[in-house]
Structure 1
């Protein structure tokens, strides 16, 4: 049985209830997404517009669009921006391309792991690799929630996993 948008976001959200962890994801996940786009932007075929980054972005967009059209369109646009940035960086020297991609990737994951330290729980992808593709969607959905949008979706997720709360077992930074 196919998991719904609420199923996917709830499963991911269960690993992300501490606001410090969620905040780390607003920085870490975009860095990781751009890093992957940068690293996969070489090689390029068909006059430079096709690359492994484009293929991964198309597969990701398909995943998001199948969950929900509105968020899927937003995610598709964001993936397109990441691929564009990746292709721009891939046009630089090999040293700049690799240093940028690897640097963004390492910094992004370091930020993620700091957030999960506060959460007191391992990242979602450790238990289910689908968490790697749901993470960017979680960030976009959470941004929508912060902007007062998609409150019914937020309520459905919180009914399953509870609200956002500080982990009392982890000291404030």
Structure 2
């Protein structure tokens, strides 16, 4: 696995335009929330529902992502755990709202956010990094988090 700094630098190569960066600050979290919500919506076996805590495919997906982030950078993983816990809370609230099925709401957000991402890359004039390496789908969120770490003077 490549060093986190190398991955962040490579990701940054196609994210230099200010408008594209702004779009990413909006769309990457929206994609994260909607993707977790879509996966959360997949029916789970009965034994998952009988657990004394909420456990579903969305939470399992998040846990697997955290293993990846810990391997890349334990420091950034701590931030991702906090951010993702907040996103899980949002998904839970959306699931409880019952205004629209969670999967339908998340599908709309997912599609709109990806359209935004591709508009940003059209403005940037460069293809999204994940077209080169799917690993970059998981790098986008930590790339944003790395800016927060830099502002706070935290090392990663």
Per the normalisation by structure 2, the TM-score is 0.85
Count, aligned residues: 150
Q: Structure 1 stretches of 5 or more lacking a match?
A: 154-173
Residues 62-73 of structure 1: matches in 2 within 5 Å?
A: 62-73=67-78
Structure 2 distance, partners of 1:11, 1:137, is 13
1:113 aligns with 2:118: yes
Q: List, as ranges, runs of 4+ consecutive aligned residues in structure 1 with deviation greater than 6 Å.
A: none
Task: Say which of 94, 98, 121 aligns to 1:89.
Answer: 94
Task: Report the equivalent of 2:29.
Answer: 30
Q: Structure 2 stretches of 5 or more lacking a match?
A: none
Task: Report the equivalent of 1:149.
Answer: 153
On the 8 A contact 1:15/1:121 being kept in 2, the answer is yes
Q: CA deviation at 1:91?
A: 3.4
Per the normalisation by structure 1, the TM-score is 0.78
Task: Report the equivalent of 2:6.
Answer: 7
Stretch deviating more after TM superposition (42-51 or 56-65): 42-51
Q: CA deviation at 1:96?
A: 3.0
